Amino acid sequence: MSFLKHLGFFNLVRVLIFLGGVFVLNNCVSVKLASTNQQRSTTSEFIPPRSPYKEIQSPYLDRTWKNPNNNTTISYLSDCNNPTDPTLNNILRGLANAIEDVHILDSHKSPYNDRESLRAHLVGRVDGVRTQLKVLIFKKNYCTYILNYAAREDQFAQGEKDFDFFVENFKVP
């Protein structure tokens, strides 16, 4: 049974936010959870974030990059052929529910990769630290994709353009 089916999609989304928060907020914390067997996309194409971002490994995310200068992270998660197939709005609600004192500053649907997407900007507390997240959620070819930028609130502006560049160049044929 896949990790997604075992824990449920919303719990995986909580893991995504928690791990993003851990990477953003603390270089020393390591988290070891059960391994995941989810089906991930093999067709996505992208340009990795530029230096100073460095790739870090996470068994729960497809790819993650961290800026060691300010601890901002850019990551993406794909989940393919999931029978639960939650809506874009339900995925965003799952993300928001995983953050303390969350406020959704902006949320809107727009075309992306020839599909409808949901873009959102959230602010709240992750592990007690004020954090901002920018996410883009879309579905294509039986896969759900979550592109994510996470930063401490006072560092958010420093990497936002890097995330925008990543999103602009992320393609699913």
Which ranges of 1-155 does DSSP label H, i.e. alpha helix? 3-7, 9-25, 88-97
- Two structure tokens written together for 61: 């995310």
Q: pTM to 2 decimals?
A: 0.80
Ordered DSSP codes for 57-98? --TTSSEEEE-TTT--EEEEEEEES-TT---HHHHHHHHHHT
- Two structure tokens written together for 102: 């969350």
32-49 pLDDT per residue, tens: 222 346 799 999 999 999
Burial environment of residue 95 by CB neighbours within 10 A (0 to 12, 13 to 18, 19 or more) = buried
Residue ranges per domain, the chain? Answer: 3-168
What pLDDT was estimated at residue 37? 64
More confident position, 23 or 83? 83
What pLDDT was estimated at residue 107? 97
5-37 pLDDT per residue, tens: 333 444 444 445 444 443 333 332 222 222 346
- Two structure tokens written together for 38: 């989810």
Look up the CATH architecture of domain 3-168: 3-Layer(aba) Sandwich (3.40)
Pairwise CA distance, residues 46 & 118, whole Å: 19
Q: How confident is the model at residue 59 (pLDDT cuts 50, 70, 90)?
A: confident
Contact 16, 126 (CB under 8 A): no
Q: How confident is the model at residue 122 (pLDDT cuts 50, 70, 90)?
A: very high
